[in-house]
Structure 1
Amino acid sequence: MRLIQLTDCHLHADRHARSRIGVPQRQLERVVAAALRLRPDLVLVTGDVSEDRSAASYAEAARLFSGFGCPWSWLPGNHDEPRLMAECRHFDATLALGERRLLLLDTQRIGEEAGELGVARLAALDERLAEDTRPTLVAMHHPPVAVGSAWMDALGLRDAAAFWDCLAGHRHVEAVLCGHIHQAFSGHGPASAGRVPVYGCPSTSDQFLPGSIDFAVDEAAWPGFRVIDLGVGKLETWVERVAP
């Protein structure tokens, strides 16, 4: 089974609106075209679909994602308006991945850049993990680990320690997928939780400069997406870049 992750599209109602160095609409169209050639079985969009929180931007995103011809799902990022997203397409909590499951978590804190699960969402996650011990992937917008950029690490998942405490009791979590960071990333959680791999994904729009102390755009890096191939007892993943 092939899962493709897209993230941080930052679309506007105005299809010609520019970001810092590109046009998000055009960038996303090219990323979708490249990802389509890899024939995904499922497409996952890990938040910040819209920049202006407009109904038109979500409708356009849904149109493009539906063009894959396979199931797709999304979750909200800090820039998103969940009500408008849900009106356009419902949110999934759990998706089947053959012999695996994919759990989608909402880490949005309304009006804030950083994310948080909170007590109720963590309790629900604990219950969902306990009810089924098949190999499980977890997807969220905010990274639950430091990525090495000081400004971005201040805007990650605030209750990451509680998240990993939850996962420590459920050793069937195979990987965590996140957005928000606008760059390729590979890391892992703490040893106490089994050093679960954590994978970040390039944005379909502008990229952020890895390892930066302050906010910086990586003008040399192209938009991209992550490919996750799932076989019996194995997971392989890599990043694809697309000329803007």
Structure 2
Amino acid sequence: MGFFLLTDVLHYDNGGRISCTKREEQNQHLPIIYVITPTYKRLTQIPELTRLGNTLRNVPAVHWIVVEEGKRTLEAVRHLLMKIDIQFTYLSATRYKNVPRTLKGIHQRNKAIFWLRENIDMSKDGVVYFADDDNTYDLEIFIEMRYTKKISVWPVGFVSEKKYQTPILENGKVIKFDAWNTKQRKFPIDMAGFALNTKTFYFNDDLYFWKSFQEGYQETSFLEICCTLNDLEPKANGCTKVLVWHTKTKDPLVYFASYNDPDSDTE
């Protein structure tokens, strides 16, 4: 794509334009990984985005699409993205009306998908990955997903009171999952546990997060639009390695309140 030939350092936001650096010149042969991250204003927002950003700055040929919840982007987040100095797009998205708050993030992920459909050639190989800002990612996971043909999958640590949840393989193919609620979900997989080739969106015009999706069924409802069990490509050494974890940060105010409470067990 032409924008990878730019040598100037350009930082744009909210208008959907692209940040480019000289590093992209060296990585033109690699499929681009488009990392989509919903975020919202809170005390831990900048620390968590910093952690994810410092991970992504070590990933070649990556484009970080950060989508703020609300009517506008935030100067603090914009400043952080420019300081991290990787290719990025910073957008904002307001919450859908008459959609439960528990169905979180769908408006932001859809905003990023809309942007991709309008701004890149999705008929060419690339990778789309939904990476929440409160997770922890081993750099190896980005190597694993780089050459996804359609949909790649792997284990995710610390999900729903489980040490990890994972696809289960037989003869190198995914046959079922070790996860919560496997009976009612065709794809009982976490949002951090799969990545898609951009062509999957190109061949499925209705591949979005629909407002009608049921709470707790976002991932399976989304994947049911575009794939079958046979399409899944197991990564991470046959789904035996955990390379991404849910590591949610405590609200600092809750911690400080407990710390100052003489009757608290917090040390």
Structure 2 length-normalised TM: 0.31
Structure index of larger Rg: 2
Determine which structure has the larger helix proportion and give its number.
Answer: 2
Structure 1 length-normalised TM: 0.33
